[in-house]
Structure 1
Amino acid sequence: MVTSPLSEIALFGPEGRGISILLVDDDEDMAELSATFLKRELADAETTVRTDPEAALGELREAEFDCVVSDFDMPGTDGLELLEEIREEGMEVPFVLFTGKGSEEIASRAISAGVDEYLQKGGPEEYPVLANKVENLVEKHRAEAQVRRGFQAIESAEEGIGIIDEDGVYQYMNEAYAGVYDRDRAELIGEHWEVLYPPEETRRFNDEILPRLESEGTWRGRSTGVAEDGRPVPERLVLTQMDDGGHVCIVQELDREDELEAELALKTDALDAAELGVVITDPTREDNPVVYVNDWFEEMTGYDESAVLGRNCRFLQGPETDPETVAEIRAAIDAGEPVSTEIRNYDADGELFWNLLNVFPIRDDTGEITNFVGFQNDVTERKRREQRLHASTARLEALFENSPDMIVIHDAEGVVRDVNRRFCEEVGYDEEELVGMRVWDLDPTVDPEHARSFWADLPTNTPRRFEGELKRSDGTTLPIEIHLIRLDLDGEDRFVAIDRDIGERTARERELVDRNERLDRFTSVVSHDLRGPLAVARGNLSLVAEETDSEHVAAVENALDRMDALTDDLLTLAREGEDAMTVEPIRLGELVGACWGTVSTGDATLAVESGAVVEADRDQLRQLLENLIRNAVEHAGEEVTVSVGRADGGFSVADDGPGIPPAERDTVFEAGYSTADGGTGFGLNIVEQIADAHGWRVRVDESGAGGARFEFAGVDVREP
């Protein structure tokens, strides 16, 4: 393992202690004052005061200080003479000359003598400046010391350490690095790293190692350099990316024993890391015994290495192992040929598993077989998926063939690829005749160019619904509703169309249009010939009310209101189906909420119990719901709760009012039936007419709360 002395540099980081300052000043009061201010400015400072420069020098010999702050003008030895003595004794402690006598001459002498900082004494305002200079000097000195110690560690390291810039040129290397290649350090610095590697290894670095270093930030492994005399140098190498694009290299030469051990360890690790069992047998020994298994084989089979070595691989076989597969493997081994097959084996617990087995012979330089290596992979889960897929496919094929709907599969060019039995029966063609035909050959409403564009833009697994027409073999046509979905079937782009006969629905829609035409004249009579006289009567009643205070006016007004309501309901009945219905998906809850806002409901409560989607004509469904809501409020009072939810085969509208007696439930839909004061008797008749127009069945029952429940069946409804 290559260890980096670079990691030792971290040991020389910030020492986690305060700043130790030696104050030298012959004026004791001034020295104490300076110490006080420094401690105030530097919370972690420790100060030692000496008034005699010689005593200060002795103190430096005995203890370690981070900085010396000295006066200049002192008897016997001045500040600059003290600095000279400190440096002569090899002490590199930072030195600040803090003097009361300031002049250009003293400043010049101080700089020449190597003073780190020079500051003239003044008032208290000078001490923050002094503290800042001391703190900066100490930090700089400590950082430089850390770098020096780190550099010494790198220089003295046994491993080779080098720094390469972003252009691949050596900017630094220690002696050990150059020594790995029997080179002189001075000659290598400034050279490109390729000078130390043969061409094939240079290609490996450029193609594999350096791209991985750039993406992952580090690389470690084995490589081969070249010495000055051309000798190959097997090495362990660690590369670490730097922020500026260069990288740090740590190299250690491998001796022959290390090289062989590393090679063997690498191969063993590779076999153990492979997620498949590896078994090596020796055919030169009796019964071709196992001589090696990797970790994955032990995990896959549950057998320890000690339970396997020396045995023939047949111990994995059992009662359900196919004898023909065993014979195939045996024949290949006897012939010295490779074999690949799937075989049922047993693990150490006696559990069956499917084994994907690949066996290869290994030959020596003379061509003789020395070993067989077997690669084994547990594919039990894959086999189970295949079996499930086979069973599912068989079920899907049965559904396809026996579906009551017509199903046709075509490609992106409109070519029919498959049809089911129901489709053949309906159009009068055999399957052989239909396969190969184009969609527009069967549906005359399809435009080829438009269809190709539509299919190209249709998203996968997203069904679409539209109407078309099938042309039978006898020339007749059949209106159909088409549900189309685009699928990827085994890599092939296919379109599955499920066709439903909508002939009855289309005929019903035509019948509604015809009926509306017959009722058009009646609508004119109701809307014009009745509303006109009613308006005249209401106007004259208003005049009578102004001229006469009669109790009969209110009765006449109520009668006119009832006639208006009757007229509205008659118009609704007459106009039912006036236009061909437009059937579309409608969210039942949203439409009920809209209807609730248009009906006078007072303090009534609405409860929507389903988000179902209903296929219906929006305007007619709205009329149906409004009549049921109005009916509930009129018969159960303005505090009624109306609930809308799913029912068997459709939806329901229920309330918690008094309900409808069983004896009357068969007559509630008759025109003129009403039990509420002021009711027209046409509201529920309109509900039944709308239901019939959609092909729905409606019946009255008792709700869970004891009120009335109107249940609609035969509805094309689904959850969103």
Structure 2
Amino acid sequence: MISSTVQDLGDDEALRRSTVLERVSEGVVALDRDLRYTYLNEQAEQILDASRGQLMGQHIWDAFPESKGTVAQNTIERALATQEQQSFEQYDSSLDRWFEVRVYPDESGLSLYFADITDRKHSERELTQKNRQLSALIENTAQAVYLKDRAGRYQFVNEAAANLFGLTPKEATGKRAADFFDSESVAQIRRIDEQILTDETADSYEATRLIDGEERVFLENRYPYRDEDGTVVGIMGISREITERKRREKTLEGSRQRLKSLFEDLPDSVVIHDAEGNILDVNDQTVDELGYTRRKLLSMNVADFEVGLSSEELRAIWTTMEVGDRAKKSGRHRHRDGSTFPIEVWVDKTEIGGEERFIALSRDVTEQLRKERKLETLTEEYHALLENADDAIFFVDVEQSDSGPEFRFERLNPYHEAATGLDSESVQGKTPREVLGPDLGAELEANYCRCVEAGEPISYQEELEMPAGARIWQTNLAPVTVDGTVSRIVGIARDVTSQVHREEDLRRKNERLDEFAGIVAHDLRNPLNVAQMRTTLTVEDPSYEELHRKKVHEALDRMEDIISDTLILARRGNEAESLEPVSVTDIAEQCWDMVETDEASLVIDDECTIESDPDRLRHVFENLFRNAVEHSEGDVTVRVGCTGDAVLYVEDDGPGVPPEHRETAFKPGQTSREQGTGFGLSIVKRIAEAHGWTVHLTASSDGGARFEFSEITLLS
């Protein structure tokens, strides 16, 4: 194949182009239509680790049987069958290098170009690892992420994807493409899904979708999703909406002669020039990129379109190179219309026909630089988000050991430092136990372990005692996985202390409203019914008018008592407005005079002074004194005093309260008397709690009731 092509060219052109193919940085291979080797250059010999003598005329799969059944075979045979350009990437373990293989068909067979993309692969991996942890912060940000099973049902939809259709992720889960898209889009999605599931390869394409009557364009990246055993169980997709995307398609001429095809179809611009920069030959890519005709270019100098390097800089490069040397430079080419674009150029100094010549292979890197700038911008945006977010963001490194994962703080954002009193410098490299102590540290590590074991984000609420004080946080943890192992945890914690307290206050208010509604609905109904019935009987039976009137007054008095006690509970039962020194003796004696005590007597065991709200304390004594008198035959002794362990007590020698009723005695509406409201002890308990006291009901030494208020502030 090669020899016949050479015969069709002039000796100078054939020699020149053969030399080019031997000097290019890419491996070049030619196969006939039976997939037998007809040509390979020196670079291809190194990449394939085989000599021309071994491979010429041999079938490709006989030479490399280990490649059968791989993506290499699928791609090469597809290019031969469809006569369309194909490409795939391949790793050479012996060279520890990555290559991009581009396959170009023509009527003679196939041309294969092996381009070394190891640097690009390493760069991509570094950028991927760097951005993986940043992407975890905002759950893939605005990109729509989804996971489908083999039947096409969405098993996972992130918030960005669900928002496209006005749904929540939960509402979108379980649906199919037909629930969201038109029939044409559904057919395309199914076709691509089937291809991915069959070939088990990823796919990337642009798609136009009709959403809410509006055409929107997305860049779709879809991948086979595998379970832990490596079986493909579905499809994972990332969809990014784009406003404009241009793809430049390269159509290769299949009818060119074989040697010219190998030279012309190189994807890079090739310029052959002498030591002065005068151009001797160019390929079609150079013509396309610069916009000049081939005839015009052959009359030009490299300095006529290279504007990134001056003429002096170019000649300095050429004069310092020896035959066999290669140099890589960055430059900028100027198009015929005056526009410029950045390039990377590889310059080889070689001999062609006994003359020293330079072969310059250049590549337009506009798109590459745009992507790099975009990634740099994205990194800066993430950094700005981290530095200015009003949430506490932290990074925890995960180290695997025989005893399980170990966690060490790596970084805290400024809000985290201000809210907790910690700082990145002091916590970096330390475990949670070292920073926050064994108890709280163990609690944090338990949550981190849950995140590692789940392998997915988790959320929970926690109350933490930090150097800056106790706060309640709503915390979200997201694992960062590298090579299947969780290597870091990214945490975002939001201070919800005020919200939780507001919710707790609202809950208590609602409970009190329910309680008061029950009182009005239940406890007022009985005396109201009595008053209504007696009023009716007074009219129907005047002879008992006096008796009915008395019963009506009693019912109304009871209603007044219930309303009075309820208002105390509703308005001030949980308040202690102003605390001040209060003489227990004075308050107790004043309250005794306000209660109908009959033959009862009051004894002050200790004259003491405590810190209290005097108005609220009066309600306590009045209710307890009234309770003691009403539950006895009237001849009862009530004793008041304080003990040295900060306990205030009120006790009597009446009948007391049975042990089985002491737990429920403080509940609203609980009473053992027919005429009692059942709120007296409830008021006592509420007022005690408002002071921060604890009240207990027990038996006195005489068998009566004894109320003890602990945790009081005893002043004297």
TM-score range, shorter chain: 0.3 to 0.5
> TM-score scaled to structure 1, two decimals?
0.36
TM-score, length-scaled by structure 2: 0.36
Structure number with greater CO (CA < 8 Å, separation at least 6) is: 2
